[in-house]
Chains A and B, each alone.
Chain A
Amino acid sequence: MTAERDLSRRRLLGLGAAGLSSLTLSGCGRLDFLADEGAARNLMARANGLTYRIQRALAGNALAPEYAETEIRQGQRPNGSRDPDSPAYLALKAKGFADYRLVVDGLVQRPRAFSLAELHNMPSRTQITRHDCVEGWSCIAKWTGTPLSHLLDQVQVLPAARFVVFHCFDDLGNTRSGPALYYESCDMIDARHPQTIAAYGLNGRALPVANGAPLRIRVERALGYKQAKYVHRIELVDSFARLWGGKGGYWEDRGYDWFAGI
């Protein structure tokens, strides 16, 4: 009886170890090839297209949750670029963005350029929303800005336009890789969504440099990397093909999914 029990215990330990080690399927990077641009990754990335279609169908034009003033418990955590150093941006910043112009062009009837004062005099929307970073953290803040749909109405978007591209001042490149200006994009559904704003205010004050001054985009149903900061130009396009890596955004060109709804 004792022998039988000892055997069982030894078997238990040995088999347990074998079972646990089989859990580490990914061990030692044997599956790292999945990261390479190729058939396996492309097949898996097609699931993002499914997510896009299903989430669009489920969400329709529904609003992102909005929060109460009492739920703003901290400043908006800045991430990514916090202090762009391109000469054009520094020159504007030195003059308090008095010379700043937001260009809206591309597939539009009447391209326009708006000063900050003009933007401030347009209808505004203020919303307390949750910013969800792709890394996993969230932060609640109050954003004030011009609804993007209002800006689009000013320039009269052509029917051929399928996407809105946001061009930014911040350069994430270096001397070796050359310039890599941040840019982002969204479809016309998000562009016309009532909560999508070109924000110039944060928590009741002017948008700080660390959070994208003088103007950033809020696309409230998408992850943080879609919330382009330091925006100077909004371009209406029918394809991303001629923009940088062709995937519709700085991070998208580096392997992130374009929709960013999850």
Chain B
Amino acid sequence: MPLTGSLSPAPRQPGPLVRRHALWTRATHWSWALCIAFLVPSGLQIFNAHPVLYWGQESGFGYDNAVLRIMAVETPAGLRGRTEILGHGFDTTGLLGLSGPAERPQSRGFPAWSTLPSYRDLGTGRVIHFFFAWLLAATLALWFLGSLLNGHLRRDILPRPRDLRALPADIASHARLRFHRAAEYGALQKLSYGAVLGIVLPVIVLTGLTMSPTMNAAWPWLLDLFGGRQSARTLHFVAAFLLLAFLAVHLLMVLLAGPLNELRAMITGWYRTDPPAPAAMKGRDHDR
């Protein structure tokens, strides 16, 4: 026994179990997860109906105001998928413009596996998208209301001066994949959750509304805010991809920080924190 003990690292004392997420936070979190899982593929279905993004009020057909264009082009090597972003062209065969089985590739913006339905069905894509758009907007409104009332917004989301001071150290420890499992959110967590909930999601909802001709009549300021309907469509797409980028990093962090503990916290609210500071400091010294 003593021998084994000296070879393997000393068993770490588990830190205290704390109540980390309020019911309100957990319910809205899973509602968003559901919404995004349906909104992204149905949104790509809608995008595929006209896989070009423009800047301004209208789409240039007699002139060029496109910022992104996904298409299939005939080349000496056969049909190829091509994507043009701000005038720079890329061969994206297999993913964008031309995808599907090699024997009968389809010319379509995003590939079948990324859209809902998988085949072209704009009507159903819109039905799915607007149902979950309502759910997303309602969840966002409830989250803001609840987080204002229970102090989540002020306590956990809005960064304080000391969070900003702690930011460089937090970035450094994330880069080295060292996570501090504390009851409170770290500086990067506050900033990223704040940016997603306070900027990206509201921009997604508002740019979505700006594409509505009836909302343009009701709230014409939306067009001024985003520089036109086609600009709003482009920003909607950009914001959706920022959200996807956040989601990829978010899932990665959950997996690296301990998926079971993180999942338990977001389902039951209870989170196992790291052992108290002195032990953690000691462990870190050993690593060096």
List A residues at the B interface (Cβ < 8 Å). 1, 4, 8, 11-12, 15-16, 18-20, 22-29, 31-32, 34-35, 41, 43-48, 50-51, 55, 58-60, 62-65, 67, 71, 73-75, 77, 130, 132-140, 220-223, 251, 254-257, 261-262
Contact = CB atoms under 8 A, between A and B. Distances in A.
Given A65-B216, A221-B213, A221-B216, 9 more contacts: A15-B255, A16-B248, A25-B41, A41-B127, A55-B218, A59-B218, A65-B220, A257-B123, A257-B127
Contact of B213 (A4, A29, A58, A261): A261
Interface string B22-64: 0000000000000001001100001101101010011111110
B124 A64 contact: no
Contacts of B124: 34-35, 41, 255
B118 A32 contact: yes
B197 interface: no
Interface in B222-253: 223, 229-230, 233, 244, 247-248, 251-252
B117 A29 contact: yes
B121 interface: yes
A134 B122 contact: yes
A141 to B, nearest CB: 9
A15 B252 contact: yes
Nearest to B62: A74
A58 B218 CA distance: 6
A221 B214 contact: yes
A163 B272 CA distance: 61
B212 interface: yes
Nearest to A255: B123
Interface in B197-226: 208-209, 211-220, 223
Nearest to A55: B214
B144 interface: no
Contacts of B223: 65
A58 B118 contact: no
Contact of A135 (B122, B230, B287): B122
Contact of B131 (A19, A47, A67): A47
21 contacts: A12-B252, A15-B255, A22-B251, A23-B251, A26-B118, A41-B127, A47-B131, A51-B134, A55-B214, A55-B218, A59-B215, A64-B216, A71-B57, A74-B62, A130-B57, A132-B213, A134-B49, A136-B50, A138-B57, A138-B58, A255-B127
Nearest to B247: A23
Majority-rule SS of B interface residues:
helix
Contact of B113 (A11, A28, A221, A251): A28
Nearest to B122: A134
3 shortest interchain CB distances as A-B pairs? A74-B62, A255-B123, A261-B214
Contacts of B62: 73-75
A74 B57 contact: no
Contacts of A55: 212, 214-215, 218
A257 B60 CA distance: 27
Contact of B219 (A58, A67, A132, A140): A58
B126 interface: yes
B46 A136 contact: yes
Contact of A262 (B50, B177, B212, B255): B212
A210 to B, nearest CB: 13
Contact of A63 (B50, B133, B217, B255): B217
A62 to B, nearest CB: 4
A60 B127 CA distance: 24
A223 B117 contact: no
Contacts of A35: 117, 121, 124
Contacts of B247: 23
B161 to A, nearest CB: 32
Contacts of A27: 113-114
A74 B50 contact: no
A34 B60 CA distance: 34
A59 to B, nearest CB: 4
B217 A137 contact: no
B177 A8 contact: yes
A239 B209 CA distance: 29
B212 A45 contact: no
B142 interface: no
Given A8-B177, A67-B57, A138-B57, A20 B287 contact: no
Contacts of A262: 130, 208-209, 211-215
